[in-house]
C-alpha cells in the first residue's frame, strides 16, 4: 500500500440548510428564488494532497499553487503509465507528442502510455489541478469491471477534452470522491478508488461520443509550422540530424528554429531529439533481442558510448538493466522513463 500524506478536505457539495424544527402555524413562507448553477470548484487544496507515485499502480495528486511563466521550469514527463490531468482553475500550455494545447479551466487531458509531454505556464497565476496516473495492470482484463472502452479517451486524435458545465460538475464530483477515498483510506477504499476511476474513464468516453469535440487548431501559423518540424523529428530520429540541417530543410534560420522550438515546446532542440531517441531505444530493448550496438544505431545514436551515457542519465539505469527489468522479448511499452512526477505539475 503506498504511503499517503493527505489532509482530509471538506465535502465539495454545499451543505443544505436544515429544516426548521417547528412547522409554520399560519401560512407558508414563499420559497427563495432559485440560485444559479454555481461554477464548478473542487475544495481548495492549500496543502499538497498526494497518494502513491509513478511506481505505484495508482497515483492521485491534488494541488493548488501559484506559478510564474518560465519555460526552463516546465515539467517533462515520459512514462509507461496512463495519465489524466484535470485543470480546476487557471490556464497552462500542454505540449503532447508533436503539438501544443492551450489548456483552460475545466479541461481534461488524457495522455497515453509512453507519450512525451510537458507543461508550462503563460502568466503568473494561481492554478489548481488534479493529476492521476495508473499502470495498465491496474485496470486489466482480470478486473471485473474491465472493458476496452475504458481506454477510449487515450486513443483520441486530440489529447484535450473540453467539458460542458454539466459534465464538469459530474467529473469534479467523481474526482472529489476519489481524492477523499485515498485520503481517508477507510475499509475498502482501494476497491472504491478503482471503481471511481473506471467510472471517470467510462463517462469521459461517453462525453466524447455524445458531444462533438472541439477541434483544437494551432494557436498560430508559427505553432503549426513547429508542429510539422516536431513530426519530422519523430519520423526521422534515426537519421543524423542537426539544428542547422532541420532549419535549412524548413527554410528558416537555425537561430530562429532554436528560439522558437524552446518557446513553444519548452524543450531545447537537441534535448527533445535525444528524448525521442531514448524512448525508441527503450522500446527496442523491451521488445527485441537486438544487440546494444544495433539498438543504438536504430535509435539514431552515432556511438554506443554516447547512447549508454545518455540512456543512463535519462532513465537512471543502464540499457542492460532496463532490458533485464522488462524481460527480453517482453514487448514494448512495459516500462517508460523514470522521471519522477513533479508535485507541482
Instruction: Give pTM, 2 decimals.
Output: 0.71
Which pLDDT score is estimated for 70?
Answer: 56
> Domain 42-210 is in which class?
mainly beta
Which pLDDT score is estimated for 18?
Answer: 42
**Tens digit of each residue's pLDDT (9 = 90 or more) over 124-171:** 778 899 999 999 999 999 999 999 999 999 988 788 888 889 999 999
CATH 1.10.10.60 occupies which residues in the chain? 221-326
> In angstroms, what CA-CA distances link 118 with 71, 202, 264?
10, 26, 11
* CATH superfamily of domain region 221-326: Homeodomain-like (1.10.10.60)
| Confidence at 97, pLDDT banded by 50, 70, 90 | confident
Report the percentage of the chain scoring pLDDT > 70: 74
| Confidence at 215, pLDDT banded by 50, 70, 90 | low
Distance of CA 14 to the CA centre of its chain: 29
Give the residue-averaged pLDDT of 183-211: 93
Q: How many Å is the Cα radius of gyration of the chain?
A: 23
CATH 2.60.120.280 occupies which residues in the chain? 42-210
Q: Is the pLDDT of residue 222 over 70?
A: yes
Which pLDDT score is estimated for 158?
Answer: 82
Mean pLDDT of the chain: 80
Quick one: cell of 79? 512514462
Which pLDDT score is estimated for 174?
Answer: 96
Least confident residue range of 17-21, 244-248, 309-313: 17-21
Distance CA 229, CA 339 (A): 25
Q: Is the pLDDT of residue 213 over 70?
A: no
Which pLDDT score is estimated for 148?
Answer: 93
Q: How many CA atoms lie within 13 A of 312 on its CB side?
A: 9
Give the residue-averaged pLDDT of 236-245: 95
Asked if 135 and 54 count as a contact pair (C-beta separation under 8 A), the reply is: no
Distance CA 280, CA 284 (A): 6
Give the residue-averaged pLDDT of 22-37: 46
Give the residue-averaged pLDDT of 92-103: 84
Q: Is the pLDDT of residue 332 over 60?
A: no
| Confidence at 337, pLDDT banded by 50, 70, 90 | very low
Amino acid at each position: 500500500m503506498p504511503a499517503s500524506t493527505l489532509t482530509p478536505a471538506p465535502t465539495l457539495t454545499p451543505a443544505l440548510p436544515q429544516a426548521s424544527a417547528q412547522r409554520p402555524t399560519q401560512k407558508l413562507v414563499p420559497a427563495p428564488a432559485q440560485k444559479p448553477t454555481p461554477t464548478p470548484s473542487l475544495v481548495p487544496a492549500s496543502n499538497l494532497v498526494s497518494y502513491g507515485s509513478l511506481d505505484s499502480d495508482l497515483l492521485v495528486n491534488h494541488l493548488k499553487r501559484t506559478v510564474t511563466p518560465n519555460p526552463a521550469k516546465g515539467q517533462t514527463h515520459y512514462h509507461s503509465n496512463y495519465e489524466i490531468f484535470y485543470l480546476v482553475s487557471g490556464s497552462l500550455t500542454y505540449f503532447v507528442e508533436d503539438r501544443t494545447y492551450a489548456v483552460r479551466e475545466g479541461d481534461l487531458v488524457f495522455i497515453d502510455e509512453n507519450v512525451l509531454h510537458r507543461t508550462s505556464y503563460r502568466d503568473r497565476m494561481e492554478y489548481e489541478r488534479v493529476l492521476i496516473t495508473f499502470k495498465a495492470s491496474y485496470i486489466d482484463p482480470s478486473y471485473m469491471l474491465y472493458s476496452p472502452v475504458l481506454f477510449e479517451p487515450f486513443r483520441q486524435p486530440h489529447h484535450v477534452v473540453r467539458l460542458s458545465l454539466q459534465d464538469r460538475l459530474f467529473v469534479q464530483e467523481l474526482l472529489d470522491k476519489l481524492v477523499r477515498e485515498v485520503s481517508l483510506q477507510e475499509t475498502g477504499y482501494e476497491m472504491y478508488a478503482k471503481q471511481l476511476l473506471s467510472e471517470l474513464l467510462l463517462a469521459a468516453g461517453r462525453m466524447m461520443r455524445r458531444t462533438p469535440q472541439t477541434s483544437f487548431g494551432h494557436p498560430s501559423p508559427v505553432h503549426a509550422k513547429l508542429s510539422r518540424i516536431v513530426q519530422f523529428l519523430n519520423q526521422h530520429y534515426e537519421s543524423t540530424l542537426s539544428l542547422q540541417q532541420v532549419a535549412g530543410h524548413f527554410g528558416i534560420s537555425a537561430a530562429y528554429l532554436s528560439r522558437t522550438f524552446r518557446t513553444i515546446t519548452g524543450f531545447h532542440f537537441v534535448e527533445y531529439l535525444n528524448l525521442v531517441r531514448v524512448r525508441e531505444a527503450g522500446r527496442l530493448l523491451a521488445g527485441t533481442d537486438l544487440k546494444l550496438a544495433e539498438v543504438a544505431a536504430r535509435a539514431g545514436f552515432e556511438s554506443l558510448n554516447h547512447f549508454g551515457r545518455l540512456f543512463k542519465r535519462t532513465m537512471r539505469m543502464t540499457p542492460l538493466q532496463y532490458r533485464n527489468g522488462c524481460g527480453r522479448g517482453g514487448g514494448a511499452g512495459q516500462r517508460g522513463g523514470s522521471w519522477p512526477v513533479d508535485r507541482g505539475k
